[in-house]
Amino acid sequence: MPPKSAYAKAGVDIDLGNQVKQTLPELLASTHRREVLGKVGGFGGLFAAGFKGYKNPVLVSSVDGVGTKLKVAFMTKRHDTIGEDLVNHCVNDILVLGAEPLFFLDYVGAGVLKPKVFDSIIRGFARGCKANGCALIGGETAQMPGFYQADEYDVSGTIVGVVDKGSMLDGKKTKAGDVVIGIASNGLHTNGYSLARNILFDKAGLKPSSKLEDLGCRVGDALLAVHLSYNKAIQRLLKRFNAKGKTPAIQALAHITGGGFQDNIPRNLPSKLDVRIERGSWEIPPLFQYLQREGKVSESEMFHVFNMGIGMTLTVRANRADEILKALRRTEHSAWIIGEVVKGTGTVSLH
C-alpha cells in the first residue's frame, strides 16, 4: 500500500474522493435529457437551451437544503432519502411559478467522505431527478476535515427550470371569491425538524426505532418520509385548465414549507386580498396531532412551523374548483377545498 500523502494525513484524501465518485457517470446518465452536453467531471455542466414550444421562455432558479432533517438521517444511519427530499423540495419551489424543471446541481460537504453514504445520497439525487424529468448535470463534493462533526455532512441543491412568460403563475389576477385547494403532504417534508426532534427525542424520550400507535410506524420512518413532488400532477392540471388560448382557471400556487400558510400563500397574493383557511376542511395527520399534544405547542404556532398535512395550495376560479379537485383526486394525491379569497390586506387567517 502506497504511503499516505501529506494532504491525506491532514484529512483530505483526493484518491478517496475520486473513488467515491466512480458511480457518478452511471447515475447521472439515468437522468439524461437530450439537451445535456459534455461529460461528467467538467468545470461546468452544459445544457443546450432549445426551449421548443416556448414563445417567451423565462428561466426560473432556486437553491435550498433540507435543514435539520439531516440529523434524523445521522441518527438512523439512513441516507437514501435525503437526496430525493432535496430535489423534490426544489422542484416544488419553481413549480409554484408553473416552471418545468430542466437541470439540478448538488453540493455535498463532509469531514470525511464515506463511499456508502455518498453513494446513497447521490442515488437519492438521481432518483428524484429522474422522477421529475430533470437532468442531474453536476455538483460539488467537498472534504472539509475539522469543519463537520464526525459522521455528519451537509447537502444543498440548485435547480433551474423554464416557464413561458405568458403562462407564468404570479397570482396577479387572483380575485375575491376564488377558492383555495390544498394537496396533502405525507409528513413534515423538510421543515420544522428542530421543533419536532425536540418534542420527540428530548421531551418524549423517544428513539427513531420507537413505534407509536398514533403513527402506525417507527418514529424514524415517519420523519424520513420523502418530501413529495407535485410536479407531474400540477403540470397535467396546467395543461388542461390553463391551456394556451383559454381563460386560466389556476391563478396561483404556494409550496407550504417553513412559515406555513401565513408566510407562503401571501408571496403571490395581491395586497388588497386575504385568504381564509378553514381548519376543519381536512383531517390533521396523526404526527402533527402528537407533536402538538406532547410538545404543548399552541395551534397558531403549529400552523406557522409545520405544513399540517398540506404540502401545496392552488388558488383557482370558484366555477372550476370542483373539476380541478376531481382531476387531482384521480392522481396519487389527496386534495380538499380548504379556503377562499376575500377582500383584505394581503394576509392569511385561520378559521
Tens digits of residue pLDDT in 236-268: 999 999 988 788 999 999 999 989 999 999 999
pLDDT at 29: 64
- Which residues, in sequence order, are CB contacts of 291 under 8 Å at separation 6+? 195, 196, 199, 200, 297, 302, 306
Residue with cell 399534544: 293
- Which residues, in sequence order, are CB contacts of 326 under 8 Å at separation 6+? none
**Domain ranges (residues) in the chain:** 12-41+56-165, 179-350
pLDDT band at 54 (very low <50, low <70, confident <90, very high): confident
Output the CA–CA distances (angstroms, integers) from residue 262 to 51, 266, 302, in the order listed.
35, 7, 11
* Whether the Cβ atoms of residue 71 and residue 84 lie closer than 8 Å to each other: no
Average pLDDT over all residues of the chain: 89
End-to-end CA distance of the chain: 69
Residue with cell 463511499: 115
pLDDT at 203: 94
pTM here is 0.90
Percentage of residues in the chain having pLDDT higher than 90: 70
Cα 149–chain centre separation: 25
pLDDT band at 144 (very low <50, low <70, confident <90, very high): confident
pLDDT at 139: 81
Candidate ranges 115-124, 175-184, 210-219; pick with highest mean pLDDT:
175-184
Would you say residue 17 has pLDDT above 60?
A: no
- Which residues, in sequence order, are CB contacts of 1 under 8 Å at separation 6+? none
Superfamily, domain 179-350: PurM-like C-terminal domain (3.90.650.10)
Query: Phi first, then psi: what are they for 179, rounded to 5°?
Result: -115, 145
Tens digits of residue pLDDT in 146-172: 888 888 999 999 999 999 999 999 999
Could you please state the CATH topology (level 3) that the domain comprising 12-41+56-165 is classified under.
Answer: 60s Ribosomal Protein L30; Chain: A; (3.30.1330)
**CA neighbor of 88 nearest in space, from 221, 192, 222, 231:** 231
Would you say residue 223 has pLDDT above 90?
A: yes
List strand residue ranges (DSSP E) for 10-166, in order.
36-37, 46-47, 57-64, 100-110, 135-143, 153-164
269-285: average pLDDT: 94
**CA neighbor of 296 nearest in space, from 185, 198, 191, 189:** 198
Report the 10 Å Cβ neighbour count for 126: 24
108/250 Cα distance (integer angstroms): 37
